[in-house]
């Protein structure tokens, strides 16, 4: 089981915060890891195979970020396949837990539509679907991610961030995702243990729910 950790708030050493969240999820086992920080409308990423280093990677400051510890199921254990994955403009970053059973079919459809892939993962297919929905006019990450997610077969959970609109989206369908809140900041994790003692309020997403989070609002809908 992979680990997901996300943050949206006012802490600036966000890479350190995500690194420490991923450390709390290490016991679940993983073969590679990655951290994405949103800054100035662009996603900055560090990822690698093997264990997390002792210190957080230097990705500069930011207040919106995501991290992942991967347990490869689709595609080998390589740096390219490690999450987060991004859209072609490095605006959106996404991490994923689960297996997209119709990934190959969707990949072919997207290649026909002009998309290129840098990894072998089913996860990158999800980001490309989101990018296509945005090109087709979805105004927010929440709308694009919802439409993309409805195309997926299998049990999946995703967390995605939009560096342009400063939004985080979580969707759960089969794999756990928990949302925590403290002092106006939001934390997302695949495991309650990573949030325990850190937050004041916890929301367990239910299967089939989507959460859209920004600094001034939190909405949860059925997908």
Which residues of this chain interact with ligand GLU, rule CB under 6 A?
Answer: 2, 70-75, 81, 96-99, 121-123
* Other beta carbons within 10 Å of 79: 12
Least separation in angstroms between CB 210 and ligand GLU? 19
Q: How far apart are alpha carbons 108 and 223 in whole angstroms?
A: 25
Residue 80's contacts (CB-CB under 8 Å, 6 or more residues apart) are 118, 119, 120
In whole angstroms, how far apart are CA 165 and each of 26, 29, 91, 140, 186? 31, 33, 9, 8, 16
Min. distance of Cβ 156 from ligand GLU in angstroms?
8
Q: What is the closest distance, in whole angstroms, from the C-beta atom of residue 177 to ligand GLU in the complex?
A: 12
Nearer CB in complex with ligand GLU: 38/103: 103
For the bound state, the minimum distance from the C-beta of residue 213 to ligand GLU, rounded and expressed in Å, comes to: 22
Q: How far is the CB of 66 from ligand GLU (least distance, A)?
A: 14
Cα–Cα–Cα angle for 151, 114, 95, nearest 5°?
45
Strand partners, 98: 156
What residue is closest to ligand GLU based on CB?
Answer: 2
Of 83 and 132, nearer to ligand GLU (C-beta) is: 83
Taking the least distance from each CB to ligand GLU, the nearer of 9 and 67 is 67
**H helices within 79-198, ranges in order?**
103-112, 122-135, 141-149
**Which lies closer to ligand GLU via its Cβ, residue 75 or residue 176?**
75
The residue (of 63 and 121) whose beta carbon lies closer to ligand GLU is 121
Q: CA-to-CA distance for 96 and 77, rounded, in angstroms? A: 15
């Amino acid at each position: 089981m992979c680990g997901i950790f996300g943050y949206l708030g006012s802490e600036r050493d966000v890479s350190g915060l995500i690194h420490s969240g991923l450390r709390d999820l290490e016991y679940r086992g993983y073969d590679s890891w990655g951290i994405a920080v949103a800054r100035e409308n662009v996603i900055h990423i560090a990822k690698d195979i093997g264990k997390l280093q002792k210190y957080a990677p230097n990705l500069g400051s930011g207040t919106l970020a995501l991290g992942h510890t991967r347990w490869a199921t689709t595609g080998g254990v390589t740096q390219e396949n490690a999450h987060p994955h991004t859209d072609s403009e490095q605006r959106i970053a996404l991490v994923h837990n689960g297996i997209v059973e119709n990934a190959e079919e969707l990949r072919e459809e997207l290649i026909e539509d002009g998309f290129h892939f840098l990894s072998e993962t089913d996860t990158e297919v999800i980001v490309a679907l989101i990018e296509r929905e945005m090109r087709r006019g979805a105004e927010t990450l929440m709308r694009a991610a919802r439409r993309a997610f409805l195309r997926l077969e299998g049990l999946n959970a995703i967390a995605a961030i939009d560096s342009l609109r400063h939004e985080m989206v979580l969707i759960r369908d089969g794999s756990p995702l928990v949302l925590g809140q403290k002092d106006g900041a939001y934390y997302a994790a695949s495991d309650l243990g990573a949030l325990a003692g850190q937050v004041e309020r916890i929301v367990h997403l239910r299967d089939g729910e989507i959460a859209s989070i920004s600094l001034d609002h939190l909405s949860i809908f059925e997908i």
